[in-house]
């Protein structure tokens, strides 16, 4: 259940601060448009599709002496193989994806935890999706945008709705589809007539913050399930859909769009309130980009509205998941 008072307070706080927007221009992870709109769009699409169940504690490595883990490592490796041969992300190539692609991808740097990644299932999924896109739309992911007439939702034929017919994008909470819509929009690759309809993209990394802050209230039994870090599919759906509703509400209160609220929380849950590091307990904020915008002095600026700030329970709440998760 949404805690309205905390939601209102959080929205009011967000309305009063400057929030840096992410235009996905960091060339460590994302190609620029000089490679062509189709290849760049395809890159975002297939990297999002393959980015799931990447444990920060088990999948990590060093590239040119720099440490990466989880999704950041996966996107760094993806960008390196894109730089090496952008055509690998053309639909004509990726429809025939094989293990050689991943062997080349993981050959950069010193990578650990490869045994935790189900390469064969990713190959199966990418091939299936690429074939369906080529058969039903064309040779570019942007053809799906064109088929949707630049609408996110349109009585079953909008961009989000069409993506949900594809393997890996069929998440009932629409995380990957919404994230892709945001990325394409911010990169100037797509312009949606109903951008006001976009929801907050909710994956597992946002959930520890939501529950620690108390924006959503759970009964003791459900909270115990979260603390154990293992949910059923239906429990994951219930938690993430309520989180999406909560953050859409916060967006309306703040007067900021859901994409901008996502920009803020993407940073905040990557540095201040991560699954493993909680600023209110560790006071660790090395390399955090937020202090110039928040004037927080290294302290969590949401502590005044956070229900479990500094508590033992906050430390116990980590990122949950469910068996067979391919959505985030």
Per-residue model confidence (pLDDT) at position 280: 86
User: What is the maximum span of the chain, computed from C-alpha positions, in angstroms?
Assistant: 54
Per-residue model confidence (pLDDT) at position 201: 98
How many residues make up the chain in this entry? 328
Mind spelling out the 3-state secondary structure of 260-294? HHHHHHHHHHHHCECCCCEHHHHCCCCCCCCHHHH
Give the residue from 171, 311, 116, 304 showing the smallest Cα distance to 227: 311
Give the residue from 301, 282, 281 showing the smallest Cα distance to 290: 301
* 239 confidence band (pLDDT: 50, 70, 90): very high
* Structure tokens given for 144: 């799906």
The predicted model gives 252-261 an average pLDDT of: 97
Per-residue model confidence (pLDDT) at position 230: 81
Residue 298 has pLDDT above 80, yes or no: no
Mean pLDDT of the chain: 95
Question: How big is the CA angle at 71 (ends 301 and 65), to the nearest 5 degrees?
Answer: 95
* Structure tokens given for 109: 């740097």
Residue 288 has pLDDT above 90, yes or no: no
pLDDT tens figures, 8-51: 999 999 999 999 999 999 999 999 999 999 999 999 999 999 99
Q: How far apart are the first and last CA of the chain?
A: 23
Per-residue model confidence (pLDDT) at position 284: 76
Residue 83 has pLDDT above 90, yes or no: yes
Per-residue model confidence (pLDDT) at position 199: 98
Per-residue model confidence (pLDDT) at position 258: 97
- Range with the poorest average pLDDT among 78-87, 93-102, 268-277: 268-277
Residue 327 has pLDDT above 80, yes or no: yes
Contact predicate 207/239, CB 8 Å? yes
pTM above 0.95, yes or no: yes
Per-residue model confidence (pLDDT) at position 276: 81
Helices (H) and strands (E) in the chain, counts: 16, 5
Q: Pairing state of beta strands 60-63 and 66-69?
A: antiparallel
Residue 287 has pLDDT above 90, yes or no: no
Residue 253 has pLDDT above 80, yes or no: yes
* Structure tokens given for 21: 């927007």
DSSP-derived secondary structure for 48-59: HHH--S--TTTS
DSSP-derived secondary structure for 83-127: HH-GGGGSHHHHTT--HHHHHHHTTSSEEE-GGGS-HHHHHHHHH
- Range with the poorest average pLDDT among 132-146, 205-219, 297-311: 297-311
Residue 286 has pLDDT above 80, yes or no: no
DSSP-derived secondary structure for 10-46: HHHHHHTS------S--TTT---GGG-HHHHHHHHHH
User: Going by C-beta distance under 8 Å and a sequence separation of 6 or more, which residues neighbour residue 306?
Assistant: 212, 213, 214, 280, 300, 314
* 256 confidence band (pLDDT: 50, 70, 90): very high
* 242 confidence band (pLDDT: 50, 70, 90): very high
Q: Residue 63 is inside which H or E element, if any?
A: strand 60-63
CB atoms within 10 A of CB 31: 21
Per-residue model confidence (pLDDT) at position 296: 83
């Amino acid at each position: 259940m949404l805690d309205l008072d905390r939601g209102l307070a959080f929205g009011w706080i967000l309305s009063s601060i400057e929030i840096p927007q992410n235009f996905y221009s960091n060339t460590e992870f994302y190609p620029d448009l000089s490679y062509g709109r189709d290849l760049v769009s395809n890159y975002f699409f297939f990297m999002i599709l393959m980015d799931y169940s990447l444990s920060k504690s088990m999948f990590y490595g060093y590239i040119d002496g720099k440490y990466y883990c989880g999704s950041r490592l996966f996107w760094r490796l993806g960008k390196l193989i894109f730089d090496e041969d952008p055509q690998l992300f053309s639909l004509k190539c990726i429809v025939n994806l094989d293990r050689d692609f991943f062997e080349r991808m993981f050959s950069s740097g010193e990578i650990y935890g490869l045994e935790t990644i189900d390469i064969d299932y990713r190959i199966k999924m990418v091939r299936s999706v690429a074939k369906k896109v080529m058969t039903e739309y064309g040779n570019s992911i942007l053809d799906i945008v064109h088929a949707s007439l630049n609408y996110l939702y349109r009585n079953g034929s909008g961009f989000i709705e069409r993506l949900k017919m594809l393997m890996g994008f069929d998440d009932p909470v629409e995380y990957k589809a919404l994230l892709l819509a945001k990325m394409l929009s911010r990169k100037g690759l797509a312009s949606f007539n109903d951008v006001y309809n976009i929801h907050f993209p909710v994956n597992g990394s946002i959930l520890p913050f939501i529950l620690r802050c108390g924006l959503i209230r759970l009964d003791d039994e459900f909270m115990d399930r979260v603390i154990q870090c293992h949910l059923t599919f239906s429990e994951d759906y219930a938690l993430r859909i309520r989180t999406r509703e909560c953050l859409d509400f916060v967006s309306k209160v703040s007067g900021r769009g859901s994409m901008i609220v996502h920009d803020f929380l993407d940073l905040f849950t990557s540095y201040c309130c991560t699954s493993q590091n909680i600023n209110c307990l560790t006071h660790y904020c090395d390399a955090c980009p937020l202090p110039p915008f928040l004037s927080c002095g290294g302290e969590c600026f949401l502590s005044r509205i956070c229900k479990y700030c500094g508590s033992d329970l906050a430390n116990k709440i980590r990122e949950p998941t469910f068996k067979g998760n391919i959505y985030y």
